[in-house]
Amino acid sequence: MTEYQSMPTRDSQRTLQLADEIRRVATRCWNIMEICGGQTHAIMQYGLDQLLPPEINLIHGPGCPVCVTSLEAIETALQIAQQPGVIFTSFGDMLRVPGTSQDLFGARASGADVRVVYSPFEAVKIAQSNPDKQVVFFAIGFETTVPSIAASLIHAQRNQIQNFSILPANVLVPPAIRAILSSPNNQVNAFLAAGHVCAVMGYTEYEPLAEEFSCPIVVTGFKPDELLTGILMTIHQLETGTARVENAYGRVVTKGGNLTAQTMIRTVFKPVDRQWRGIGTIPLSGLGLRSAFSAFDAVRRFQVDASPVAESSVCIAGQVLTGVAKPPDCPAFGKACTPTSPLGAPMVSSEGACAAYYRYQKAN
């Protein structure tokens, strides 16, 4: 018995009906990539991949910001966290992401003041309560986390909180889609766009991508029936030879997105090139601070060694994150690499593809 059957009867029936419709409509093999790691976990948790016909192959994309935060950023975070007088704050998942020799939990065990926070405003409050310390927030995440980070910096600037800074590491979804579609190894025929990202940014940025690469993109939610609705809509487009952006998450997402949030983002940040772990540099795929907020850049504030660092020779996280391989293809999966001893970030994060496969395939 798959786990989706434990849902309310109405939801289960709708899910099964959508799966039947997908089987009826699909006449060819199609590769569909879901961008969000939360969607990957829902697919694995509820056995949605098992409901689909063999013609439909779900590819798990780089939709986990913890997973794609570069090794260089992790090493920079470790260097800053271990400096005297620093309180280093971060979302919890980041503390277990391995660097070259240790993670932030290891740094804390060695005496660094590393704290888990649930929002950047918590870090600002810590700075206000510890005026003799430098408080740094590890600014990771896709567009969903950026408005609160921008708001915290605007607040810190207005209130002259000078002992607060961020380590900028935010990444953007549309440039990642472009990089995947431009790759000579690309296998993706269509994308499921992350509903929570589009709730902030809308989906106009995806329209040029759909047109240029003849690739359907459907904004999709996170419940089983929402995911299968998005998959069905992409298959309808693929089977009819059309390629446009559609919104299957209309109860949350509008075309223009949250204009107030976008204004805050533009006020504080500007697009910059960003290194993605296991993938490489993607042009204009990150957010750096504008000159008016450059005083809050922790990289400027602290002395750090920005030398390139090498990834694990065993971990194939980059191939997993770009859809070229799936977690079980990795020779270390479930052996040398497990959630308690991860080699790569996709096994660490609560939204990582490797962690999802390990958890739910073991359960099944």
pTM: predicted TM-score of the whole model, two decimal places: 0.89
Domain chopping of the chain, boundaries? 1-313, 317-363
Three-class HEC string of the chain: CCHHHHCCHHHHHHHHHHHHHHHHHCCCCEEEEECCHHHHHHHHHCCHHHHCCCCEEEEECCCCHHHHECHHHHHHHHHHHCCCCEEEEECHHHHHCCCCCCCHHHHHHCCCEEEECCCHHHHHHHHHHCCCCEEEEEECCCCCCHHHHHHHHHHHHHCCCCCEEEEECCECHHHHHHHHHHCCCCCCCEEEEEHHHHHHHCCHHHHHHHHHHCCCEEEECCCHHHHHHHHHHHHHHHHHCCCCEEECCCCCCCCCCCHHHHHHHHHHEEEEEEEECCCEEEEEEEEEECHHHHHHEHHHHCCCCCCCCCCCCCCCHHHHHCCCCCHHHCCCECCCEECCECCCHHHCCCCCHHHHHHHHHHHC
- Out of 3.40.50.11740, 3.30.70.1560, 2.60.40.1930, 2.30.110.10, select the CATH number for domain 1-313: 3.40.50.11740
pLDDT in tens, the chain (364 residues): 233 334 444 478 899 999 999 999 999 999 999 988 889 889 988 999 899 999 999 998 887 888 889 889 999 999 999 999 999 999 988 998 888 888 999 999 999 999 999 999 999 999 999 999 999 999 999 999 999 999 999 999 999 999 999 999 999 999 999 999 999 989 999 999 999 999 999 999 999 999 999 999 999 999 999 999 999 999 999 999 999 999 999 999 999 999 999 999 999 999 999 998 877 899 999 999 999 999 999 999 998 876 666 666 778 877 887 777 888 888 888 888 888 778 777 887 767 788 888 888 755 5
